[in-house]
């Protein structure tokens, strides 16, 4: 899916515009300078075409070294994206802070769509025309708040984004897209180096697909795999130094683009908040998951004891994920990764026929009916698997199901049909 980065100074109405594009209220985030937000990328659809919107957040106009910071942000965003939506406040015009970004945008050679925001009525449109001077092409006057002009803007966005490859081609598979994720120093780059060895190929331009200079094609187990955003892993780019936000932006975008994520953990250390946050993101994005317990050479009996407890406590939600214990530094057990990847992808793409699903639902409901709630007993009337990747089930019921019962259904689905390595989405539709 092509990626659109949205950049602009605080208060130009970036978040409002992102919400316009998404057609929902979900992404409402204030432009609080310097704030690290949990989610930065969102799925959008316009005219039947899907793309990912990366909201790059605000920068701090009062911070020292602002120009560099803005430039760094813009560079990263532009580097990650297929096209950039540059948002300017038409009532304010261009500021010095914008100029640095404009330079980078011009230099990048990637498509730029220039949005002149806060053009709330026709009279204000004249203000937008001054922006022709930027040399970024036609400014699109919009009112993110009222929606004025947003249709034309989105048409322009679609035109700037690369056409997705025809569906058949995707089905027949290009290389599988894998993201190696994890917090700093867990051994991601060591793992990548061992996997890729000397034979790595840096992908700089695959015709007809997303142009992305940061993926690598790697041969493993006789097949080619595409590792996403390896530049972010190999080079500790500026962003990593002190600025967690940029690291998170990269991680989040990589997860979004991947089919499967390998979460690398440092087994010698306690499972941390940040590990859990990445896990959460992978689950929410609905990607296949393999967990690699790295630095296994440092695990002694005592650490093993505590690690088992931590796994029980922190990883219950992802009990289904295949796990491999590895030592990236020496390559020990690295060969176990490919079977785990295969297993996870298989689960991710498993499809259960409607017949088999309903026979199964009938059986488990008979075995273990829903508890009675205020005199009523919700029943599952019919179910169907609406999607794979990740497996998504729609259950039509006679009433709302308890959380506990939904978990029971999910657990039994896994016991019956496998689904290793994948989140399962249950979409319950109570008939009122
Ligand atoms: P990244 O930040 O996740 O890419 O982590 P690196 O690959 O740069 O590794 C961070 C540090 O951990 C380096 O000093 C590595 O040599 C070390 N390291 C990586 N994998 C292992 C391992 O399996 N065992 C041990 N003992 N150290 C490792």
Q: Which residues are annotated as a binding site?
A: 8-15, 55-59, 117-120, 182-189, 229-233, 294-297
Q: Which of 52, 59, 44 is nearest to 81 (CA)?
A: 52
Nearest CA to ligand 1 atom 24: 295
Q: Are 29 and 40 in contact (CB under 8 A)?
A: no
Q: Is 163 exposed, middle or buried (0-12, 13-18, 19+ CB in 10 A)?
A: exposed
Is the distance from the beta carbon of residue 336 to the nearest atom of ligand 1 less than 6 Å? no
Mutating to test ligand 1, I would choose from 190, 194, 264 the residue with most ligand atoms within 8 A of its C-beta, which is 190
In sign, the C-alpha dihedral spanning 320, 294, 184, 311 is positive
Question: What is the β-pairing status of strands 260-266 and 288-294?
Answer: parallel
Kindly list the structural domains of the chain, giving each domain's residue range(s) and its CATH number in brackets, ordered by start: 3-160 (3.40.50.300), 169-348 (3.40.50.300), 354-430 (3.30.300.20)
Nearest CA to ligand 1 atom 19: 187
**Number of helical H runs and strand E runs in the chain:** 14, 16
Q: Are 408 and 375 in contact (CB under 8 A)?
A: no
pTM for the whole structure: 0.69
Q: Is the ipTM of this complex over 0.90?
A: yes
The alpha carbon of residue 383 and the mean position of all alpha carbons in its chain are separated, in whole angstroms, by: 28
Distance CA 392, CA 254 (A): 22
pLDDT in tens, the chain (432 residues): 788 888 887 778 887 888 888 876 444 444 444 443 444 677 788 888 888 887 775 555 455 555 566 666 667 777 778 899 999 998 888 887 778 788 888 888 889 999 999 998 888 788 888 888 888 888 999 998 888 888 899 999 999 998 765 544 444 568 999 999 999 899 998 999 899 875 555 544 443 333 344 788 898 988 999 999 887 776 554 444 446 667 777 888 889 889 999 999 999 999 999 999 999 999 999 999 999 999 999 999 999 999 999 999 999 999 999 999 999 999 999 999 999 999 999 999 999 999 999 999 999 999 999 999 888 999 998 988 889 999 999 998 989 999 999 999 999 999 999 999 999 999 998 876
């Amino acid at each position: 899916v092509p990626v659109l980065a949205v950049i602009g100074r605080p208060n130009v109405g970036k978040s409002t515009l992102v919400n316009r594009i998404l057609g929902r209220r979900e992404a409402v985030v204030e432009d609080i300078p310097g704030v690290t937000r949990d989610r930065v990328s969102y799925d959008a659809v316009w005219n039947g075409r899907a793309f990912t919107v990366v909201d790059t957040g605000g920068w701090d106009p009062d911070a020292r070294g602002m120009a560099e910071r803005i430039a760094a942000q813009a560079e990263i965003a532009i580097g990650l994206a297929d096209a950039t939506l540059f948002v300017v406040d038409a009532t304010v015009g261009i500021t010095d802070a914008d100029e640095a970004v404009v330079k980078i945008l011009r230099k990048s050679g990637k498509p730029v769509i220039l949005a002149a925001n806060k053009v709330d009525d026709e009279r204000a449109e004249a203000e937008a025309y001054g922006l022709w001077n930027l040399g970024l092409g036609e400014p699109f006057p919009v009112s993110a708040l009222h929606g004025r002009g947003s249709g034309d803007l989105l048409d322009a966005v679609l035109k700037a984004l690369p056409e997705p490859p025809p569906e058949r081609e995707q089905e027949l598979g290009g290389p599988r897209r894998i993201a190696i994720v994890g917090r700093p120093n867990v051994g991601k780059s060591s793992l990548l180096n061992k996997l890729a060895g000397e034979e790595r190929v840096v992908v700089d331009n695959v015709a007809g697909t997303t142009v992305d200079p940061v993926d690598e094609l790697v041969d493993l187990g006789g097949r080619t795999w595409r590792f996403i955003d390896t530049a972010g892993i190999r080079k500790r780019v500026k962003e990593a130094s002190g600025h967690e936000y940029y690291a998170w932006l990269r991680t989040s975008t990589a997860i979004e683009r991947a089919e499967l994520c390998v979460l690398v953990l440092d087994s010698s250390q306690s499972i941390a908040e940040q590990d859990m946050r990445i896990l959460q993101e992978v689950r929410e994005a609905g990607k296949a998951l393999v967990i690699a317990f790295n630095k296994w050479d440092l695990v002694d009996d005592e650490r093993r004891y505590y690690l088992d407890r931590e796994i029980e406590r922190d990883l219950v939600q992802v009990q289904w994920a295949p796990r491999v214990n590895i030592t990236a530094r020496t390559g020990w057990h690295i060969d176990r990764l490919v079977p785990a990847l295969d297993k996870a992808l298989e689960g991710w793409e498993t499809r259960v026929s409607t017949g088999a699903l309903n026979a199964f639902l009938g059986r488990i409901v008979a075995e273990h009916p829903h508890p009675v709630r205020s005199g009523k007993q919700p029943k599952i009337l019919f179910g169907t698997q609406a999607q794979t990747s990740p497996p998504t089930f729609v259950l039509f019921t006679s009433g709302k199901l308890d959380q506990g019962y939904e978990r029971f259904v999910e657990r039994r689905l896994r016991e019956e049909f496998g689904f290793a390595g994948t989140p399962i989405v249950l979409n319950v539709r109570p008939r009122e």
